Amino acid sequence: MNIASADFIKGAVEPAGYPALSVPEFAFFGRSNTGKSSLINMIVNRKSLVKTGSRPGMTRQINFFLVNKKFALVDLPGYGYAQRSAAENANFDQMLADYCNQRKELKVMFFLIDMRREPTEVERGSVVYFLERNIETIIVGTKSDKIGTNDRYNKVRTWASFFSVPADSIIPTSAQKKQGKDQLLRLISDRL
Ligand SMILES: Nc1nc2c(ncn2[C@@H]2O[C@H](COP(=O)(O)OP(=O)(O)OP(=O)(O)O)[C@@H](O)[C@H]2O)c(=O)[nH]1
Ligand SMILES: [Mg+2]
């Protein structure tokens, strides 16, 4: 797929603020600093359509980007940022629940996990949560440049069994080395 345009549309904290785009939507969810914004930039061939890195955990709203005027990419706030209050975390949980339950345009939830980490029970719970709501969930391993090829292969197998999903629902990527981009774009165009 050729990327002809990619534009930031708006940020929202509740359903009333979501933009009326009426195009299929693909969301990116994961722990703070896992590489959500970098992955979106990689997919659309832009260095800084989405701000990355500088202040982890600072994305406090749901950001909507329109690509080729045909589909939307959605950057969800990262979870697990230590310096956030319990009230703020509860607020993020509610934002995610509202988005999952109310955004009919949502086609695929990309769940990003740093390939150097082991997934936790909480993450397994998130996958169950999405699947229970009939949201197609693809697990995206990020920063694959930080581990070896064998390790990458093993992770895909162990994660598939840990999350009880087929191995082809797990995609290793590296925003730094531009790996996994074609696979993600193919998956997106297959859903359009
Ligand atoms: N080595 C490597 N570093 C990466 C990769 N992707 C992202 N990073 C780095 O990881 C850090 C976090 O990346 P972001 O894309 O900002 O992560 P995020 O998930 O959007 O973080 P929040 O918005 O805070 O939730 C940055 O310093 C990136 O440069 C990758 O593929 N490889
Ligand atoms: Mg981000």
Domain annotation covers residue 24: yes
Ligand in nearest proximity to the CA of 36: 1
Domain annotation covers residue 1: no
Provide the residues around ligand 2 (an ion) whose CB is within 5 A.
Answer: 36-37, 59
> What gap in Å lies between CA 53 and CA 15, rounded to an integer?
27
Provide the residue range defining the domain that includes 117: 6-191
Q: What is the pTM of this model?
A: 0.95
* 3-43 pLDDT tens trace: 999 999 999 999 999 999 999 999 999 998 899 999 999 99
50 Cα: distance to centroid of ligand 2 (angstroms): 7
| Beta carbon of 174 within 6 Å of any ligand 1 atom | yes
> What gap in Å lies between CA 172 and CA 152, rounded to an integer?
7
Residue 26: the pLDDT is 98
What total of structural domains would you count in the chain? 1
| Beta carbon of 33 within 6 Å of any ligand 1 atom | yes
Q: Are 156 and 172 in contact (CB under 8 A)?
A: yes
CA dihedral 76, 90, 97, 29 (to 10 degrees): 30
| Beta carbon of 41 within 6 Å of any ligand 1 atom | no
Residue 165: CATH number of its domain: 3.40.50.300
**Mean pLDDT of the region 127-144:** 96
* 157-187 pLDDT tens trace: 999 999 999 999 999 999 999 999 999 999 9
